[in-house]
């Protein structure tokens, strides 16, 4: 129960990595606001024993108004927020000649601007408390870009840089900021990609030295560690969780 007494906001929490993070944080004692665009009740429900600690919230954080509403609801519900995990993300595939302005704008609105807006809104609360942990979900492709995903690659690289900037600018206020850079994690998004391209899980796993795909729960354990006091001297890090896979290999 190392997050006992902590209040945590998790975005993109209706499925995949985000819902796993919300559940792990709740299992470790945190009160969690699980934010997503989907309406409460339409997403998969957490285990019954965790439901009293997970409060669903619907908001469209691709807009400034949506971010402001989410911040107001989170702070209004708990009074303070000790940790935030920015997990919401979108992927628009294609090279620069294949993605259009709408693809580009939406990728940055969700993957970068929402992260910055939510952090901007919560930093004063954390600064007043003298404590806070920010965990931003970037990507292995934000460290080493994959072909044909320029909007996603560059937006996730921006998340890594934004996170390091936060760590340097607000460390003196007791606020830590780290990014997690997952590789091939078996989420619904990845499963859809495998299905669309007629690729089996074992085929993709053969490109990973550990011989398997990652699971959302493994990313969630890393996120909960970074939120906890066990990571009290970890800040400004971009932690790859990819089974030693090299991009493009």
Hunting for tokens 């919401």 — which residue is that?
88
DSSP 88: -
- DSSP letters of 170-212? HGGGTEEEEEEEE-SB--HHHHHHHHHTT--HHHHHTTSTTSS
Tell me if residue 152 is catalytic: yes
Cα 47 to Cα 106: distance, rounded to the nearest angstrom: 32
Three-state secondary structure call for residue 54: strand
Rounded to an integer, what distance in angstroms lies between the CA atom of residue 11 and that of residue 136? Answer: 10
Contact 235, 174 (CB under 8 A): no
Q: Token pair for residue 144?
A: 């080493």
Q: Where are the beta strands (DSSP E) in the chain?
A: 7-11, 31-36, 54-58, 83-86, 132-137, 175-182, 238-241
User: 3-state class of 115 per DSSP?
Assistant: helix
DSSP letters spanning 43-101:
SPPPPGGGGGGEEEEE--TTSHHHHHHHHHHHHHHHS--SEEEE-------B-TTTS-H
Tokens of 231: 């990571």
Of 18, 55, 139, 152, the active-site residue reads 152
* Catalytically annotated residues: 152
């Amino acid at each position: 129960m190392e997050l006992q007494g902590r209040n945590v906001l998790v975005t993109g929490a209706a499925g995949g990595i985000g819902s796993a993070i919300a559940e792990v944080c709740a299992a470790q004692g945190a009160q969690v606001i699980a934010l997503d665009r989907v309406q409460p009740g339409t997403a998969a429900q957490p285990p019954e024993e965790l439901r009293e600690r997970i409060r669903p919230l619907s908001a469209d954080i691709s807009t400034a108004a949506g971010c402001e509403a989410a911040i107001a609801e989170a702070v209004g519900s708990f009074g303070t927020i000790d940790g935030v995990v920015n997990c919401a993300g979108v992927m628009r595939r294609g090279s620069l000649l294949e993605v259009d302005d709408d693809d580009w704008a939406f990728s940055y609105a969700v993957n970068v601007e929402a992260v910055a807006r939510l952090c901007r809104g919560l930093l004063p609360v954390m600064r007043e408390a003298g404590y806070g942990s920010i965990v931003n979900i970037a990507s292995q492709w934000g460290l080493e870009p994959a072909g044909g995903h320029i909007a996603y690659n560059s937006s996730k690289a921006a998340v890594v840089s934004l996170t390091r900037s936060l760590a340097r600018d607000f460390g003196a206020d007791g606020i830590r900021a780290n990014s997690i850079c997952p590789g091939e994690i078996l989420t619904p998004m990845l499963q859809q990609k495998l299905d669309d391209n007629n690729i089996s899980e074992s085929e993709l796993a053969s490109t990973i030295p550990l011989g398997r795909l990652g699971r959302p729960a493994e990313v969630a354990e890393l996120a909960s560690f970074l939120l906890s006091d066990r990571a009290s001297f970890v800040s400004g890090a971009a932690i790859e969780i990819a089974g030693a896979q090299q991009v493009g290999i």
